[in-house]
Amino acid sequence: MNKSTTTHGIILARHDSGDTDRVVTILTKDLGKISAIAKGVKKLSSKKAGHLEVGNVIEFELTPGKTLFMVGAAKTVAYHKFLQIENMRQLFVWLEILNTLVHAEEKDTALFDIARRGLDGAERYRRDQLQVVWPEIALYNHLGYQLELGQCVVGREPLAATQNYLQVRLGGVVCASHAGQETGLSAISSTAIKLFRLVKEGRWDIIPKLTINEDIVREMTELVATWRDEVVGHRLKSERF
């Protein structure tokens, strides 16, 4: 890109640069993840400061510079102002996951849409905890960390509707007959397997209509957290928020 352009983006992170500037990491709809400098944004007179808060979705002007892009005019398209601390925690976890896993400057409109779903899920978390689980599953699938959900990853036989086990390091589900050979297993119910499959198939039309009991909510949350630890490779700072 050798001229200015206007695009949409999600502010993933930021840090100060000098006395008056900030460098912001933005997941953009048209250019992928970028780093850009916002000149003078720390000044009291700056009109951009409020728009460049972490978690905001913005429409902004972007100009290439010598080493970094430069942020021009910006306006907020959506922001997420939570009253509950747990919603804030989920928001920061989601942004850190995106910032950790997404490579720089790779345009991916589908990824941007998943990222937006995750922001909305964090806002609704107190009412429905699975609203943050669905986008996270979709993100890992989209980035290539798909789980084998149709057959045992050890014996390759079709999974029966009995007790099975998730082993994320092996990339999927282990059946009961092979479970004794493996370590690091997490029990996974037939219902949870079906839910993972729905997200993998992109059945966003069905998911909001489902009635899911608290046991399955807890199970899905714990299974995705286990998957996250394997994909990310370390505990997120935001999980200690």
pLDDT band at 96 (very low <50, low <70, confident <90, very high): very high
**What pLDDT, on a 0 to 100 scale, did the predictor assign at position 63?**
94
As a whole number of angstroms, the distance between CA 56 and CA 11 comes to 6
Q: How much is the CA Rg of the chain, to the nearest whole Å?
A: 20
List pLDDT tens digits, range 103-158.
Answer: 998 899 999 999 999 999 998 887 888 999 999 999 999 999 999 999 999 999 99
Question: pLDDT by residue (tens digit) across 158-187?
Answer: 999 889 999 999 999 999 999 998 999 999
35-87: per-residue pLDDT in tens? 999 999 999 888 898 999 999 999 999 999 888 999 999 999 998 776 688 88
Angle between helix axes 214-232 and 190-200 (nearest 10 degrees) is 60
pTM of the model: 0.92
Which pLDDT value is given to residue 109?
Answer: 94
CATH no., domain 5-78: 2.40.50.140
Q: What span, in angstroms and rounded, lies between the C-alpha atoms of 9 and 114?
A: 13
Alpha-carbon distance of 200 to 144, in angstroms, equals: 11
Structure confidence at residue 44 (pLDDT) = 86
User: Where are the chain's structural domains?
Assistant: 5-78, 85-146+183-240
